[in-house]
Amino acid sequence: MDPHRRRFLAAASLGTAACALPAAAPAAAPTPARPEPAGNRIKLAIASYSYWHFKTARVPIETVIDKAAAIGVEGVDVLHRQMDVPEKDPLTAEHRAYLQKLKRHAFRQGIDLVAFSIHQDFVDPSAEFRKQQVAHTHKCIEIAHELGVPCIRLNSGRWNSIASFDDLMKARGEEPVLPGCTEDQGFQWCIECIEQCLPRAEALGVVLALENHWGLSRTPEGLLRIVNALPSPWLGVLADTGNFLEDPYDKLAAIAPHTVYVQAKTYFGGGEWYTLDLDYPRIAKIFRAAGYTGYVGLEMEGKEDPDVAVPKSIQLLRAAFA
């Protein structure tokens, strides 16, 4: 046989045999990358309150947005009383136009509006007063929705047996129950009022964040008593690092698993009412351990010029939460 023909037939038979072999197994899919550690996903915001402590001319929210963009944080926490919308009045077409302009301004500056800090008080013997507070909160939920803000700060309310806030601070936030009332009544009023707010919050996609502020939510036990009474994905905790005046770290750890937003206080120049020496690396570790991955909003409550103190504060928080 011609040697060239012999080589051709041998190659052809090898090719046929190869076709008969089973196909090779596909290469194994690459192992998915592990999720980024929770601590590295925390973003920073600046509360507009950092630039205005109620004692000077009001600093516009637009100005705070501009300053936040210049500093390089991702978000702004809007204080209701700082807006060009009267706190207690019904919303008008003019008010709504202002909200849309504010939202546009934030978008153009690359800033998220991440929280809306409002005031209400659900602890009062008057059913009519509590009804008004619920209506006010409904309006604030609507404002947040208009702004695209996903979270509003709630106060539990307090007994107001100490009328002056300055005097309340001198008393370290503790005040007696009103005569003729009980602590249990206060908690029941607060729980009932928040329960009436939850359907509206869910309908408009706004999370209610109950702060460890003064009054019933001054302690972890009081705060969690309210939150646990209303199990809902639309209710969580706003953890303010400066509102536990004694032994803050264990108390923050107690509420961290329920936290949906963090406000981090600093006191450069001395605090307006008190000064705390907070260990932010330790606080960051507490929230990382709890799996917190949301925003940390700076509340600079010191007397130093905010144009100096706010950037220093952000640098401190970046170092702690990075």
Confidence of residue 40 (pLDDT cuts 50, 70, 90): low
> How many independent structural domains does the chain possess?
1
What pLDDT does residue 169 have? 81
Among 33-37, 63-67, 165-169, 298-302, the minimum mean pLDDT is found in 33-37
In a domain? residue 97? yes
CATH of residue 250: 3.20.20.150
What pLDDT does residue 214 have? 86
In a domain? residue 301? yes
For the record, the structure tokens of 94 come out as: 């003019």
What pLDDT does residue 156 have? 94
In a domain? residue 288? yes
What pLDDT does residue 161 have? 81
Residue predicted with more confidence, 143 or 167: 143
3-state SS assignment for residue 263: strand
* Tens digits of residue pLDDT in 288-299: 999 999 999 999
% of the chain residues with pLDDT over 90: 80
Mean pLDDT within 238-262: 97
In a domain? residue 238? yes
Q: Are the C-beta atoms of 190 and 158 separated by less than 8 Å?
A: no
In a domain? residue 41? yes
Among 48-57, 76-85, 154-163, the minimum mean pLDDT is found in 154-163
Alpha-carbon gap, residue 219 to 213, rounded angstroms: 9
Residue predicted with more confidence, 134 or 160: 134
What pLDDT does residue 243 have? 95
Residue predicted with more confidence, 46 or 170: 46
Question: Is the pLDDT confidence value at 6 over 70?
Answer: no
Alpha-carbon gap, residue 192 to 222, rounded angstroms: 15
Mean pLDDT within 218-241: 97
CA dihedral of residues 59, 63, 67, 69 (deg, nearest 10): 140
Question: Is the pLDDT confidence value at 107 over 90?
Answer: yes
* Average pLDDT over all residues of the chain: 89
What pLDDT does residue 39 have? 40
Among 174-178, 179-183, 250-254, 261-265, the minimum mean pLDDT is found in 174-178
Tell me the whole-structure pTM to 2 decimals: 0.85
* Tens digits of residue pLDDT in 202-223: 999 999 999 999 899 999 999 9
What pLDDT does residue 160 have? 84
In a domain? residue 14? no
* Tens digits of residue pLDDT in 15-27: 443 333 334 334 4
What pLDDT does residue 199 have? 98
For residue 296, list its beta bridge partners. Answer: 44, 262
In a domain? residue 5? no
What pLDDT does residue 91 have? 95
Among 6-15, 95-104, 250-259, the minimum mean pLDDT is found in 6-15
CB proximity list for 76: less than 8 A, separation 6 or greater: 45, 46, 47, 48, 61, 64, 65, 68, 106, 111, 112, 113, 114
Range of the domain at 287: 36-321
Question: Is the pLDDT confidence value at 173 over 50?
Answer: yes
In a domain? residue 21? no
What pLDDT does residue 17 have? 39
